[in-house]
Amino acid sequence: MAGGYERWTHEQLVARIQELELELELELQPHPPERVSTTNNAEPSPADAQRQTPYRKPPRQPPKAFDASKYSTRLIALKFAYLGQKYNGFEHHNNNTTPLPTIEEELWKALMKTRLINPTPSARDTPRYNGTDRKTFAAWDQNGAAVNWEGCEYSKCGRTDRGVSAFGQVIGIRVRSNRSLPRPSASLSVAAEDLAGEATAEPAKPFDELEDELPYIQLLNRVLPPDIRIYAWCPNPPPDFSARFSCKERRYKYFFTNPCFGPVPGSPGLYTSPTARAPMREGWLDIDAMQQACKSLTGLHDFRNFCKIDASKQLTNFQRRIFHASVEEISPLSFPAYLSHPAVQSPSTGAEQPKMYAFVLHGSAFLWHQVRSIVAILFLVGQGLEAPSLIPALLDTSTNPTRPKYEMASDAPLVLWDCIFPHAVEVQSSKERERGYEDRLEWVYVGDEGGIEPKSLGKAKSGGPSSIGRGKWGRGGVVDDVWEVWRGNKMDETLSALLLDTISERGKSTLGVEQSSTGEVGIAKGGPRVFDGGNLGRAKGNYTPILQRERQDPVEVVNERYAKRKGLDPKKIVPKEDEADE
């Protein structure tokens, strides 16, 4: 036997040892199963010895359920920004399928994926949230999620419509914390006597609510889409904090260019305005006239003619306080060079260079589509189709109790710029307060202490400083994320501008030729194209002044019709006076 083993290879010997170990293990069992011997006690051949027992991968263990009861929680506020063109607005409604996801749904999924919240399951939620895994997350991303904020103390500030962006949106939420749960105290005297002789337990380590806390900003940004970014959090909002009711001022900006769309060179692009002294060129806006119209907006006014009536809220009070309204020039931007040519300048505004502007509006609260309705009227004033006096005329509900029919401005350029939370002692009613508030929440911004990526404080494998940024600048930072979005759009903008310049210089119909041509002043057919905030002017035919248009039904009629259709008792209806939508 020994001589036979000497001729075996190393692999054959290992295989034989494994076979003997298996036989020994089976013999040591209390009741070994019957075995059919295939060797008949004969010496195994080298070929049989090479046959090893195939390796079987152990079955994957199911994911360990997340036990939220082992963690403490805290109420915080989150400030974040998003570009709204790819979303169906901020607010999410279950069982209401939308063609695009909502911002609220993306936030909820991110909070769930990071285990920062553990909602209370409703009766319809048969599986509990602590057992969710990657398959569940993938199904949410593909088919949508049933958003549930129960038990999270969730509140939201502004509810932007589809396509509207926000740079200062705020939510309040109770989230998981790194702070250790308090240890149970020995309340019984017997237990105290038993513990008296034992060594005194070490006191709990002090907890720094900034340095020792979870990196909320980085955790959420890792799983959020690139066009939604958390950039600040507040660790100590008031105990009764509500992002909706604690906010006493909202600030909006509506961006537009001047010219607002491509002007036609020469005399064919000119039209006579009923309000301007000189002819105006289609596409250019009179910024001075718009500024004059803004002055009438500040103060406490009834804005029923500058909003869309939502009968489901049964509103009866349309008074809103506007703290500030103006048209402001934005930092210089690059425009196609051909727009500076005299052939496309407007006689009424002179040799004004193309610029980017923003209509800035601060107010205590806003009605549904109030900002976009105001902007639509301002654009008509800027085009010389209406006088600045139209705004005070529409604010005078004794003379104009019903809203004329006109289209509101486009959604894309509108941004919820900021939300302001003053101290409770500073809050006044909209009738008393005449100036804006200052934000008193103590925000921790990304990159500051409490908003740093923890991995950036360690060392790289080489022993040097970590190559990961602190959460704001550098690799994995918010600035890098937003830069990627900006650069992609900037390349599209630059190439489009170069294409416009290239086309305008080619052929015989150049800007110089159009400038020297003579002809009658006026648009060929109908009136000038009307600007509504979109990318192109809209042909509307002969323009009908706003005050001469058909009127909508009075608010009282709209509310009564809705209440009757829904079977509501008018005596029991409580109007929702403080709703804020845009």
Specify the amino acid at residue 93.
H
Can you spell out the DSSP letters for 293-348?
A: HHTTTSEEEE-GGGS---GGGT----EEEEEEEEEEEPSP----GGGGSGGG-BTT
C-alpha distances out from residue 70 to 212, 408, 520, Å: 17, 51, 80
Residue-wise burial string across 258-290, b where 16 or more C-beta atoms lie within 10 A, e elsewhere: bbbbbbbbbbbbbbebebbeebbbbbbbbbebb
With CA atoms as reference, report the closest residue to 555 among 385, 383, 368, 393.
Answer: 368
Task: Tell me the sheet residues that pair with 230.
Answer: 80
Q: Is 480 a catalytic residue?
A: no
Burial of 370 (0-12, 13-18, 19+ CB in 10 A): buried
Please give the Cα distance from 40 to 22 (Å, whole number): 17
Sequence-separated (6 or more) residues with CB below 8 Å from residue 36? none
- Dmax over CA atoms of the chain, in Å, equals 119
Phi/psi of residue 256, each to 5°? -155, 160
Check: CB of residue 418 under 8 Å from CB of residue 251.
Answer: yes
Among 48, 133, 161, 411, the active-site one is 161
C-alpha span between 496 and 511 (Å, rounded): 18
Return the structure tokens found at 202.
């070490």
Question: Can you tell me which residue has the tokens 């009711």?
Answer: 245
CA-angle at 73, arms to 70 and 78, nearest 5°: 140
Report residue 383 as tokens: 């085009």
Residues annotated catalytic, as ranges: 161
